[in-house]
Chain A
């Protein structure tokens, strides 16, 4: 029987997803760059038995504009490298998946591959990454390597912008392909330590990846052995055909943004069509995105949102469905959306740690009562902890198979 359990991830970002979150009484706005803050958040997620946490990131400073810096002084600015935050909390947690955001547009696939492999060693099989494409001109100017035309969100249909977006998504697929090849570039038993012959490794079990792409070529092998999961979990957020296609080519998990049960059916069909178009064998795990503002009762949740909106001086703009209400109400929504075709959800807490605690302490017990969420982690002795949680095998090594 197919498990009725939902997958639940939580998206961590600064003081939370609402721009005024940092002004809440339980917020810790002067600790956002401290290790203790992140350790506490991830430990809370683990106490709630969540599947994984994602950690948002960008090379650029946060901004309220899409394609340029802003001049605001009333919102959280400044953040830490997400991979390093994940590494910093890994030794202090045991089960929850650690999925930092990594921009493919401006990074070296070789560096990213070994960083995520290392995170997987440090976290004993719990690493993943959320792949993000950056088409923003102000972010490109920080790196200075590739020219990106200045454009806004509304210019996405301009010809040069469309071409750029397509190029960068293709590059992201190449980036992930290189990472995956590098993860496989060491066979699991490559290290032999054969004292008799003096050989530390069997070089026949190390592989050049020889990737040649439009914007980079990578020779390999990785300097880092194959990680515990073999292939760490690759997660992508996608809203339309092009990113669905990228997810189908490169991902294990896709995060989507339905706003209704009907949306779920339509989006999942689009994802499946994208999979068919790229001839993908295993289906993606499809998780829905929901931004949550929770309260003791509906009025309390509404009052919380009203207070946040008043302080922010602007309405909440988000790509994801927003839920305002009780944990029980949220459980109703998640059950309905799941039954419409989602495997689970990535929840974006409006405030941290407030809404995270309501997820772990109110929503999780509610879902457990309904038989829709695990009551314990069952990953003891599993080398590929995070993959296994999503029903994914520890994959065979592509180079071993072809020998």
Chain B
């Protein structure tokens, strides 16, 4: 099958990049599935990472959330709760895998550059060059209550501090060039010179100096991911990131995002290949298209129970809606304006820029289509990005990559830990047959897997 790009017929087919996201602490993950296993036992992480490596995926990905989410001042109990320490699990996974990249989200808000830099450099050494860092900023004093730094950062300070944090970490990685350790037993010379690892960084966020304790790691710098979607986030990514963890998994929104971000690179003296765009994508497979659609409906209903639908609605309405029937119509009152006080510890509440307008939109749609609260929430929530037979899903992934809607996808299974098994066994071989996905790892580092400059 031909996989030429539609816009540029003479361009060789792009290679697809694929990654495996450990099922998250959110309602995408269906813990009630009879197949669902532990979210904390190491064996679950091993299962998914090894499945991903067997399928030759680029990397395994682990998200982070530094405070248990709350709604109405109580810990949110309808989704999976609990997760491990990101770095510790990734370092352990390095022992039971050989090639797959090991990526994790680490907050730049509630950490110090020297600490994160030495953990990342250590992970890169311990994995033979497979480490990646998804740099996120935390936005709320709520999460800060667990940390020394605590406190709230104003929106405009948030990216500046994150930028500075990353710049500082990069300076630390670069404080060793890579040829300083000679370890010559005969002459007794261990280092080439006396001030290796020396650095100094002084600005209003970080005032630090000394010698960095981890010699240069196999990748030099771990792969840097960025996940923010705002204009500042996109600019930050264009300037510094190696990859973007985007949420634009569709064809049209994906193309718009792709064009926008790749278009920013030249201003930073970078080529389009130097930044990979990898949306998160859920998927549902079936033997026939109809079976896949039916399964996708079942999965959506499992993801959005009646109780979950009310809680999700409350996050937009910013009100207690527990008196409403999930199988009944939407509330006719408008959302409570102002700061969201109902839900805490969620990134998603920030995505509702104009709650009143969104609520009116939803209400109109529910009335027009005769949808209950639960049915509407299942519709407006994230529908699986890829639904179909393995052939259909492989074709669609390939088509979207060739159409520049993405460079590949971070696959988000909805069941732990076996949710990727079928994809690995059925979709990946089709992509390999098309010639757009590797059949063996060509390199040993994640930078090599992603085709990034070293």
Contact surface of A with B, Cβ cutoff 8 Å: 20, 22-23, 27, 29-30, 33-35, 39, 58-62, 69, 71-81, 83-85, 87-92, 106-108, 110-111, 114-115, 117-119, 121-122, 124, 138-139, 141-145, 186, 191, 193, 195, 197-203, 206, 215-221, 223-225, 311
Give chain B nearest CB distance to A223 CB in angstroms.
5
A-chain residues with CB within 8 Å of residue B145 when the two chains form the complex: 217-219
A-chain residues with CB within 8 Å of residue B194 when the two chains form the complex: 71-73
Q: Is B65 an interface residue (CB 8 A)?
A: yes
- Residue of B84, B95, B119 touching A91 (CB-CB under 8 A): B95
Give chain B nearest CB distance to A196 CB in angstroms.
10
Q: Is B268 an interface residue (CB 8 A)?
A: no
Q: Is B118 an interface residue (CB 8 A)?
A: yes
Alpha-carbon distance A41/B195, docked complex (angstroms): 30
Alpha-carbon distance A27/B127, docked complex (angstroms): 22
Alpha-carbon distance A117/B40, docked complex (angstroms): 11
Contact B211–A61 (Cβ < 8 Å): yes
A-chain residues with CB within 8 Å of residue B77 when the two chains form the complex: 199-203
- Residue of B82, B115, B126, B192 touching A223 (CB-CB under 8 A): B82
Give chain B nearest CB distance to A136 CB in angstroms.
10
Give chain B nearest CB distance to A170 CB in angstroms.
15
Q: Look across to chain A and name the residue whose beta carbon is closest to the beta carbon of B94.
A: A88
Contact A59–B118 (Cβ < 8 Å): yes
- Residue of A77, A202, A215 touching B191 (CB-CB under 8 A): A77
Interface size class of B (residues with CB under 8 A): 35 or more
Give chain A nearest CB distance to B220 CB in angstroms.
14
Alpha-carbon distance A58/B83, docked complex (angstroms): 27
Query: Which of B67-75, B225-233, B287-295, B384-392 lies at the interface?
Result: B67-75
B-chain residues with CB within 8 Å of residue A58 when the two chains form the complex: 213
Alpha-carbon distance A199/B207, docked complex (angstroms): 46
Alpha-carbon distance A202/B74, docked complex (angstroms): 11
Q: Is B239 an interface residue (CB 8 A)?
A: no
Would you call the interface of chain B mostly helix, strand, loop, or mixed? loop
- In the complex, besides A110-B66, A115-B85, A215-B148, 10 extra interface pairs with C-beta distance below 8 angstroms are A61-B210, A78-B176, A80-B122, A87-B92, A108-B110, A110-B110, A144-B112, A223-B65, A223-B66, A224-B85
Q: Look across to chain A and name the residue whose beta carbon is closest to the beta carbon of B65.
A: A223
Contact B82–A69 (Cβ < 8 Å): no
Contact code string B307-332 (vs A, CB < 8 Å = 1, else 0): 11000000000000000000000000
Contact B190–A198 (Cβ < 8 Å): no
Q: Is B155 an interface residue (CB 8 A)?
A: no
Contacts A78-B181, A88-B95, A108-B147 given; indicate if A60 touches B211 (C-beta within 8 A).
Answer: yes
Contacts A71-B195, A90-B95, A220-B146 given; indicate if A122 touches B42 (C-beta within 8 A).
Answer: yes
Q: Is B267 an interface residue (CB 8 A)?
A: no
Contact A138–B210 (Cβ < 8 Å): yes
Contact code string B164-195 (vs A, CB < 8 Å = 1, else 0): 00000000000010000101010011111111
Q: Is B430 an interface residue (CB 8 A)?
A: no
A-chain residues with CB within 8 Å of residue B193 when the two chains form the complex: 73
